[in-house]
Amino acid sequence: MIRVAVAGAAGRMGQAVVAAVQGAEDMQLTGRADPALDTALADVLGDADVVVDFTRPDTALANALACLEAGVHVVIGTTGFDVEPLRQARGANVFVAPNFAISAVLMMRFAAEASRHMAKAEIVELHHDGKLDAPSGTAARTAQLMAGEVPIHSVRLPGLVAHQEVILGDVGQSLTIRQDSYARESFMPGVLLAVRRVGELEESPLIGLEHLLF
Ligand SMILES: NC(=O)c1ccc[n+]([C@@H]2O[C@H](COP(=O)([O-])OP(=O)(O)OC[C@H]3O[C@@H](n4cnc5c(N)ncnc54)[C@H](O)[C@@H]3O)[C@@H](O)[C@H]2O)c1
């Protein structure tokens, strides 16, 4: 059994992760850390093999460093923070994914390929209006994987979950690649895969679900 604690357990994503871990036969939920639950991350580290972090951009790095110091592997879904300091950190493994949905990973892959054959591209990313960071981690990662400069436009509206269009243009033609996460369950198979694999990574931090899928 993998003992899993969730940081940000009271949040939109954290609640979905708690349910997914409870539904996984090879995992045991050992802790739920969140200021909203009056439980600090430090209180749950002693009982965990892996922490899954879906918190805020301003706390994800400190949380990850606390996990590593305690020798606990960490799977990070939080976006909009600088991962560079984690390259120096040791103690346990770190896996980071800006997007845990398989359709989003495929969208990034197809966009990267298409950008090598089309003249220009722009990204429109659309998210719910509770999202703190802009541009989204997925859009930033997509642009990083694509050839050339790729401008990003951010839309924040109630009712949306997580959506992205990559629009590529060339003489007399265009190509649109669109990905939609309609529900937070879309991220859960990727999160559980990362929890199962984070302990055996050969490289840390490892960034991107594609490294576990392909
Ligand atoms: N990687 C992905 O696939 C993916 C998908 C969706 C969202 N996200 C990202 O996940 C993060 C969370 O999104 P959300 O919509 O669930 O946000 P949310 O605001 O609903 O939840 C965040 C939770 O973290 C808690 N929190 C704050 N500081 C904390 C700390 N120090 N320790 C523990 N918990 C703390 C808050 O109280 C809150 O309950 C965001 O960065 C978002 O961009 C990533």
- The number of the ligand 1 atom at minimal distance from the alpha carbon of 98 is 1
The reply to whether 120 belongs to the active site is: no
How many whole angstroms separate alpha carbon 16 and alpha carbon 22? 10
pLDDT at 75: 98
Which stretches of 77-171 are assigned E, i.e. beta strand? Answer: 94-96, 120-127, 152-156, 162-170
Residue 197: Cβ within 10 Å count: 16
pLDDT at 138: 97
Backbone φ/ψ region at 38: left (φ over 0), alpha (ψ -120 to 50), beta: left
pLDDT at 55: 98
In a 10 Å sphere around its CB, with 0-12 CB exposed, 13-18 middle and 19+ buried, how is residue 159 labelled? Answer: exposed
35 lines ligand 1 (CB under 6 A): yes
How many whole angstroms separate alpha carbon 203 and alpha carbon 40? 28
How many whole angstroms separate alpha carbon 6 and alpha carbon 197? 16
Closest protein CA for atom 25 of ligand 1 = 8
The 3-state DSSP class for residue 127 equals strand
Segments of the chain scoring below 50 in pLDDT:
none
Residue the block writes with tokens 């960071």: 133
- The number of the ligand 1 atom at minimal distance from the alpha carbon of 100 is 3
- The number of the ligand 1 atom at minimal distance from the alpha carbon of 9 is 39
Closest of 19, 6, 90 to residue 51, by C-alpha: 6
Per-residue pLDDT tens over the stretch 106-146: 999 999 999 999 999 999 999 999 999 999 999 999 999 99
pLDDT at 8: 98
- Of 73, 131, 153, 163, which is the active-site residue? 131
Residue 89 Cα to ligand 1 midpoint, Å, equals 22
Please state whether beta strands 27-33 and 173-181 pair in parallel, antiparallel, or not at all (unpaired): unpaired
The reply to whether 127 belongs to the active site is: yes
Cα R_g (the chain), whole angstroms: 17
For the question of whether the overall pTM of this predicted structure is more than 0.85, the answer is: yes
- Of 73, 127, 163, 211, which is the active-site residue? 127
Name the phi and psi angles at 4, rounded to 5.
-120, 130
Closest protein CA for atom 2 of ligand 1 = 99
Can you name the residues that pair with 84 across neighbouring β-strands? none
The 3-state DSSP class for residue 140 equals helix
